Amino acid sequence: MSTAVNLSVNEGAKPERLLAVMRYPDAERSIAKARQAAPDLRLRSIGALGLIVSCSESPKARRQRLRRLVIERQALEELLLHGPVLPARFAGRAALPSSLIALAADHQDVFEAKLAEHEGLAEYQILVSWRPDEVLRSLLVLPPQNATVDEKREKSANAAAAAEIQRTKLRDMIYAELGGDAHDAIERPVMQIHDIAAAAILMPRPDAEDPRGGQSERDGSSFAVMGNVALDRLLTKIDDLWSGMLTVRCIGPLPPISFATIALDATDKHDTLAARRQLGVAATDSKAIRDARKRTLKAAIRENAPGDVIDALRAAADHLLRRGARPHVDTEEQLSLRFERADATEHSSLARHGEVRTGRGASIVGAR
């Protein structure tokens, strides 16, 4: 399929929000089910890529934003069943269709490389907690009947200190297990006193044809999450670090929200033209920009140019490199692409605070 940009899509078009990028054949197979969760989704093809977009604006009110986030998360999970999905930042800026098409056409190789990087993988969000009162009781050495108030306080303080030592030890062991078994892992902050460790991990995604899809099962001491044996084994190993005292929660499979969320930045065409003039470069490929940067900086240093002139040249080069080559279209609105990791997105923040609980299987290991 040709990557030529058809600007007719932009005639009278309204801005759209990018929700995700997939390979087009994968997106085409799954878009019908995704639309059951979010009927306003649209699929656009650009070469081998499929852009999933929404014509709906991101709601301003918090409750409506959360509801919309859940809807879009469910739609992305449907898409994930048929191939890798690169999610876009929730509530990211809306853009004209021509701008999104030009971005995808200009960065097709980048998107394809990222999709290949996440082939067969899905994100799982792990939260390990304990019950502080039970932990303290297990560590408390009871004072004798005739103990003084000070002695009782000392015993309680020693138990609290032992609990904190145990928390640190367990946290290190949990992250070691996650880092050793997962394809990739990101530590995330814990927010509650009963939480020990939180992480986002990349693991092989379950087969879309698995008949147990969407179920969490327990067979004796064995836990099955979406038929994912590797994840099952990892959760059981974490639970066994202190058997009977830990609760391990797993949310997923999800698109790689914490690892490769698409973020779009917009620049004005006139800023780009000014940067080209400043560097004296007409082409926008990275080699031409770097050569122009080196050439102009050398000339400025040779002529003892002020520091602000040198800083401006560096800023112009950085602007053009971030923007990337755009051979297909030159619009007023120009988008540049970056991928965010860790907790830079609202998806991660909301899930971390327990306000969003989607995911095809939510397994609780070790909970009584």
Tell whether the model's pLDDT for residue 357 goes beyond 50: no
Q: State the Rg of the chain over Cα.
A: 26
| Rounded CA separation 75/255 (Å) | 11
| Rounded CA separation 259/202 (Å) | 8
In 3D space, the residue among 234, 299, 31, 251 whose CA is nearest the CA of residue 122 turns out to be 251
Mean pLDDT along residues 208-236 = 54
Question: Other C-beta atoms within 10 Å of 132: how many?
Answer: 14
| Rounded CA separation 51/181 (Å) | 32
| 137-168 tens-digit pLDDT | 766 655 565 556 666 566 666 667 777 788 88
* Phi, psi (rounded to 5 degrees) for 97: -55, -40
Strand partners, 96: none
Contact yes or no for 106/115 (Cβ under 8 A): no
Give pLDDT, residue 214: 40
| Percentage with pLDDT > 70 across the chain | 70
Sole residue written with tokens 């959760």? 235
In 3D space, the residue among 43, 9, 49, 351 whose CA is nearest the CA of residue 200 turns out to be 351
Give pLDDT, residue 337: 81
Q: Which two tokens stand for residue 72?
A: 């879009």
Sheet of 49-54, strands arranged across: 41-46, 49-54, 17-23, 86-87
- The per-type count for the chain, helices as H runs and strands as E runs, is 11, 13
| 36-54 tens-digit pLDDT | 988 989 999 998 999 999 8
Contact yes or no for 92/17 (Cβ under 8 A): yes
Q: Which two tokens stand for residue 1?
A: 């399929």
| Rounded CA separation 358/351 (Å) | 9
Strand partners, 261: 340
Contact yes or no for 234/175 (Cβ under 8 A): no
| 74-131 tens-digit pLDDT | 899 999 989 999 999 886 677 888 888 888 888 899 999 999 999 999 999 999 988 8
Contact yes or no for 284/324 (Cβ under 8 A): yes
Give pLDDT, residue 152: 59
pTM of the predicted structure, to 2 decimals? 0.69
In 3D space, the residue among 348, 186, 204, 199 whose CA is nearest the CA of residue 263 turns out to be 348
Dihedral of CA atoms 14, 63, 199, 367 in degrees, nearest 10, equals: -140
Give pLDDT, residue 359: 44
Give pLDDT, residue 361: 42
Q: What is the mean pLDDT of the chain?
A: 75
